Structure 1
Amino acid sequence: MTLQRTFVMIKPDGVRRRLVGEIISRFEKRGFNILALKMVHMDRATAERLYQEHKGKGFFNELINYIISGPVVCMIIEGDDAVSVVRKMIGATDPKEASPGTIRGDYALSKSENVIHASDSEEKAKTEMGIFFQDVTEIGAQARM
């Protein structure tokens, strides 16, 4: 097992539907540490930076408009094999394919409004954490005090 950090974001539909506490609770019950957490209303430039890999795809503008439609909750989560375990916990992007018991399987209403985002690799996690949390290196030390 490898101690890792990953980036997780509860999307506008999750915030609107008051699922923030329930989702955070799932990660804590699984034994993960929440090292950093904040609610932000993302601007278009930040959203485009976060989802730059999808630029040019047919759904890009819809995705960006959705992400900036309301506040999101951004987190840095730490724990054993955090990247892969968190991805398993959130489930498939399409809620029709997400297993019951996963966050999307239990709460997502559609493929476009699917409650949560999580980094899919350690490299991506570092990039995404850096977008929302300026000094990621100090966060762990502060969280353990």
Structure 2
Amino acid sequence: MEKTLVILKPSCLQRGLVGEVTKRFEQKGLRLAGMKMCQLTDDVLSEHYAHLAERPFFQLLKDAMMATPVIVCCFEGVGAVDVVRQMAGTTNGRKALPGTIRGDFSMSSQENIVHTSDSLENAAIELKRFFKDEEIFDYKSVSNAFIYASDEV
């Protein structure tokens, strides 16, 4: 099973969407393996968004991510990285399709409710950035038999 990172951004918390967003991932069949609230720092965000350091919006992005605490989540499932990305929708909420999280709840490319890992490799790096090993839990989900066919897990 793949694990992936989801950050519920300050826009998610401020708009009271935490329950709605996590509900969508759980209803899809993803298993919540870790969750915690934390206040992000400039240093952590500079590392996390290093690939955007030369972009003109870099500081604005970091400032927005530090506006309030965030909730970091680890979701697990077959193909979890791609499933979560599809559910989140395209980065710009104005262009995201209805039915996606950003398409339903966002009008911005920055205040776009969630961050999601973009690859299995980055998911592993990002999960280590935000979680200690003992903060991600491995437990049997009794509903797996009703989420996946026996040859899928």
> Scaled by the length of structure 2, what TM-score is found?
0.88
User: Could you tell me how far 1:139 is from its partner in structure 2?
Assistant: 2.5
**Separation (CA, whole Å) in 2 of partners of 1:20 and 1:109:** 17
What aligned pairs does 1:5-24 form with structure 2 within 5 A after superposition? 5-24=3-22
* Structure 2: unaligned runs, 5 residues or longer: 142-153
* Structure 1: unaligned runs, 5 residues or longer: none
**Separation (CA, whole Å) in 2 of partners of 1:104 and 1:71:** 20
Mapped pair 1:58 → 2:56: yes
- Over residues 13-32 of structure 1, what are the superposed CA-to-partner deviations in whole Å (9 max), with x where a residue is unaligned? 10111100000000000000
- Over residues 9-54 of structure 1, what are the superposed CA-to-partner deviations in whole Å (9 max), with x where a residue is unaligned? 0100101111000000000000000000001111111111111111
Structure 1 runs (4+) greater than 4 angstroms displaced: none
Q: Which residue of 2 aligns with 1:120?
A: 118
Q: Identity of paired residues, percent?
A: 38
Tell me the number of residue pairs that the alignment of Structure 1 and Structure 2 aligns. 141
**Separation (CA, whole Å) in 1 of partners of 2:126 and 2:70:** 14
What aligned pairs does 1:57-136 form with structure 2 within 5 A after superposition? 57-135=55-133
CA root-mean-square deviation: 1.4
Q: Which residue of 1 aligns with 2:151?
A: none
